[in-house]
Amino acid sequence: MKKEINSSKAPGAIGPYSQAVMAGNLIFVSGQLPINAETGEMPGDIKSQTAQSIENIKAILSEAGATLDNVLKTTVYLADMSLFGAMNEVYAEYFKAVYPARAAFAVKELPKQALVEIEVVASL
């Protein structure tokens, strides 16, 4: 049985999907754009956007009783691979060993012209 997870500290879904879904001990967090839930604003640079996306993920995981330490897998979508180095610097500030498995790749375009979007799978 699946359970919807929502946090008011992360931006609401902008379509027919949940912020996250929990099934058993697994938490599937939808891709998080770097939107500040309080202001509705998005920072302009990749480092700030990466941090905001991860802060949104932290808020959603917290609603499920988890932290970034529970993350097993991340997928990072970038507007351009030239942003990878700067994104990776910020990413490394949030995730510690044992690091989650990760895929990162560039896509043609992200919603709202974001530079990054990050989704995760975590386990309790």
Domain locations in the chain?
A: 2-123
Per-residue pLDDT at 37: 96
pLDDT band, residue 15 (cuts 50/70/90): confident
Residue 90: pLDDT band (50, 70, 90) is very high
40: DSSP letter = -
Instruction: Specify the pTM.
Output: 0.96
Domain spanning 2-123: CATH superfamily: RutC-like (3.30.1330.40)
What local confidence, expressed as pLDDT, does residue 85 receive?
98
Confidence band of 21 (pLDDT split at 50, 70, 90)? very high
Can you give the three-state secondary structure of 45-88, one letter per residue? CHHHHHHHHHHHHHHHHHHCCCCHHHEEEEEEEECCHHHHHHHH
